[in-house]
Amino acid sequence: MSKFENTILCGDCCEQLKNLPLHSVDLTVTSPPYDNLRDYGNKNSWNMPELVCELYRVTKAGGVVVWIVADGTVNGSETCSSMRQALWFKQVGFSLHDTMIYAKRGFANPSIGRYHQVWEYMFVFSKGRPRTFNPIRDRKNICSRMGADAVRQRDGSIKKGSRGGIKYREYGMRWNIWEYKIGGGNMADGEANKLVHKHPAVFPEALAADHIKSWSNPGDLVLDPMCGSGTVCAAAKKLGRRWIGIDIFPEYCEIAKVRMSQASLLWNQPVETDE
């Protein structure tokens, strides 16, 4: 696997994935181009069925794919492309482990005739039961105290527990709606900081980092088959993971390579788990 680890591969993602060994990837985090919401020239098309099959082939048992996507609007109707893509993953054998939401603080384009669109799907697919889950605990509870030990039953009745109460932590596990500021959420270093914003659709590096912390461990292999300016790869490197990035555009591959050559270790803090 050393031939492909910690490299940016330039070319069609489906073809490049065929070179990766079977069951070699622990985690994939990616945001594909969708519904022509950004102009990527004449290379904005990709073979969805083939890509999903290749992702299934290279993903380890218990591995996870995080698919960040949204829908365009055509003739006043949302396309539902994201839902069709989710069904492709299920058809090849992935489980839809969670449907998460990426909420944006602010928006780039105000909507007319409907409420402003400020979120995207983050589908979390797993190959069997996820092998790794390191929950992030940064949601401050209202109070840290003993709470009532009771559970509402299916018939609506309340059944009291036998533990005499539940001790709440000061910080609880975050919910599955994650909010990030858009436009300034990347931490590219040096010259890469000037180059990264040449990509038309950069998502916050903190978003990639939080998924990498959650679904992988140090030393695991993280893949982004449509890596653009290298956001996922940079976060993976900073968190002590091995990484592979793929992109069809040579200009974005060069940006990613510069970024990876300068990426420093910023996030090597321990992650609290349930253990």
- What is the domain range of residue 149? 138-172
**Domain shared by 202 and 94, yes or no:** yes
- Asked whether the whole model's pTM tops 0.85, one would answer no
**Domain shared by 95 and 195, yes or no:** yes
Q: Find residue 123's DSSP bridge partners.
A: 67, 99
**Domain shared by 115 and 154, yes or no:** no
In a domain, 273, yes or no: no
Q: Find residue 126's DSSP bridge partners.
A: 64, 95
d(CA 107, CA 105): 7
For residue 46, is pLDDT > 80?
no
In a domain, 2, yes or no: no
In a domain, 121, yes or no: yes
Total Cβ atoms within 10 A of residue 105:
12
> For residue 217, what pLDDT is reported?
98
Per DSSP, the three-state class of 69 is: strand
Q: What confidence category does residue 199 fall into, taking pLDDT thresholds of 50, 70 and 90? A: very low
**Residue at a domain's end among 172, 196, 216:** 172
**Domain shared by 75 and 130, yes or no:** yes
How many percent of the chain have pLDDT more than 90? Answer: 60
**Domain shared by 100 and 181, yes or no:** yes
Number of domains present in the structure of the chain: 2
**Domain shared by 105 and 205, yes or no:** yes
CA torsion through residues 133, 239, 119, 143, sign: positive
For residue 30, is pLDDT > 80?
yes
Length of the chain: 275
**Residue at a domain's end among 128, 156, 172:** 172
pLDDT tens readout for residues 101-115: 999 987 767 788 889
**Domain shared by 131 and 148, yes or no:** no
For residue 261, is pLDDT > 90?
no
CB of 240 closer than 8 Å to CB of 218: yes
pLDDT tens readout for residues 206-237: 999 999 999 999 999 999 999 999 999 999 99
d(CA 169, CA 140): 9
**Domain shared by 143 and 198, yes or no:** no
Q: What confidence category does residue 166 fall into, taking pLDDT thresholds of 50, 70 and 90? A: low
Query: What does the CA dihedral 159, 160, 166, 172 come to, rounded to 10 degrees?
Result: 20
Q: Find residue 120's DSSP bridge partners.
A: 102
Beta strands in 169-232 (DSSP E): 171-172, 177-181, 221-224
Angle between helices 231-238 and 205-215 in degrees, nearest 10? 50
**Domain shared by 95 and 210, yes or no:** yes
Query: What does the CA dihedral 223, 224, 227, 231 come to, rounded to 10 degrees?
Result: -80
For residue 147, is pLDDT > 70?
no
**CATH code at position 214:** 3.40.50.150
